[in-house]
Amino acid sequence: MPIRFTYLLITALLLVSAMPVQGTEKAITINYPPDKTVREYGLLGVSVNLSRDLGDRIIANVNSKKRATITPLLGTECFSVPLEPGINTVELIAYKGDDVVENIIFDVFRRSELISGFRNVPPGFKKDNFHSEDRKICTKCHILKPNVYDLKPVNPATYPGESFESEKLVETTSTCYSCHKKITAQSYVHGPASVWSCLSCHDDDTIPDYSVKTPDSELCYECHIDEKKDWLSKKYTHGPVTIGKCTICHSPHGSDNAFNLFKSTWDLCVNCHAAKADGAHVIADTLFKEGHPTRGRQDPLRVGKELTCASCHSAHASNYPHLWAFEVASLYELCQKCHKQYSEN
Ligand code: HEC
Ligand code: HEC
Ligand code: HEC
Ligand code: HEC
Ligand code: HEC
Ligand code: HEC
Ligand code: HEC
Ligand code: HEC
Nearest residue (CA) to ligand 4, atom 22: 259
Measured in Å, residue 222 CA sits from the centre of ligand 4 at 10
Query: Which pLDDT value is given to residue 24?
Result: 61
- Protein residue whose Cα sits closest to atom 23 of ligand 1: 179
Determine the atom of ligand 4 nearest the C-alpha atom of 188: 27
Nearest 10 degrees: Cα torsion 218, 220, 221, 227? -140
- Closest C-alpha to 102, from 207, 29, 190, 16: 29
Residue 207: left if φ>0, alpha if ψ -120 to 50, beta else—which one? beta
Q: 238: Cβ below 6 Å to ligand 7?
A: no
Angle (CA) 268-271-277 rounded to 5° is 90
Q: Give the mutation target among 7, 28, 30, 47 for probing the ligand 1 site: most ligand atoms within 8 A of CB.
A: 47
CA 44/CA 41 separation, integer angstroms: 8
Say how many Å lie between the CA of residue 277 and the centre of ligand 3: 31
Pocket lining: 313 vs ligand 6, CB cutoff 6 Å: yes
One-letter identity of residue 138: C
pLDDT digits (tens, 9 = 90+) for 188-235: 999 999 999 999 999 888 999 999 988 999 999 999 999 999 999 999
Half-sphere exposure of 11 (CA within 13 A, CB side): 11
- Predicted confidence at residue 33, as pLDDT, reads 97
What's CA 283's distance to the chain center, in Å?
37
Cα 179 to ligand 5 centroid, rounded to whole Å: 29
d(CA 89, CA 105): 7
Ligand 2 residue neighbourhood (C-beta within 6 Å): 32-33, 43-45, 129-132, 138, 142, 144, 146, 150, 175-176, 178-180, 198, 202, 208-210
Our CA angle for 171, 176, 177, nearest 5°, is 75
| Cα 96 to averaged position of ligand 5 atoms, centre (Å) | 50
Q: Among positive and negative, which fits the CA dihedral 256, 32, 157, 224? A: positive
CB 186 within 8 A of CB 256: yes
Let me know: does 310 contact 319? Beta carbons within 8 Å.
no
Residue 9, pLDDT score: 47
Residue 23 main-chain phi, psi, to 5 deg: -55, -35
Q: Determine whether the shortest distance from the Cβ of 301 to ligand 8 is under 6 A.
A: yes
**What does each of the 345 residues of the chain score in pLDDT, given as a tens digit?**
344 444 444 444 444 444 444 456 789 999 999 999 999 989 999 999 999 889 999 999 999 999 999 998 889 999 999 999 999 999 999 999 999 999 999 999 999 999 989 999 999 999 999 999 999 999 999 999 998 889 888 887 777 777 767 777 777 889 999 999 999 999 999 999 999 999 999 988 899 999 998 899 999 999 999 999 999 999 999 999 999 999 999 999 999 999 999 999 999 999 999 999 999 999 876 666 788 999 999 999 999 999 999 999 999 999 998 999 998 888 889 999 999 865 444
> What's residue 228's pLDDT?
97
Chain-centroid distance of CA 225 in Å reads 24
Q: Nearest Cα to 214, choosing from 246, 238, 183, 237?
A: 246
Ligand nearest to the CA of 197: 3
- The answer, yes or no, to whether any atom of ligand 1 lies below 6 A from the CB of 43, is no
* Rounded distance from Cα 337 to ligand 8 centre (Å): 10
Listed as own residue / partner, the contacts of 86-89 with beta carbons closer than 8 Å and 24 or more positions apart are 86/110, 86/112, 86/115, 86/117, 86/118, 87/122, 88/44, 88/62, 88/63, 89/62, 89/63, 89/64
- Which residue's alpha carbon is nearest to atom 11 within ligand 3? 252
Ligand positioned closest to the Cα atom of 10: 1
Q: Which residues lie closer than 8 Å to 253 by C-beta, 6 or more apart?
A: 41, 183, 184, 186, 189, 190, 193, 260
Does any ligand 7 atom lie closer than 6 A to the CB of residue 284? yes
From the CB of residue 150, how many other CB atoms can be counted at a distance below 10 Å?
A: 21
CB 8 within 8 A of CB 141: yes
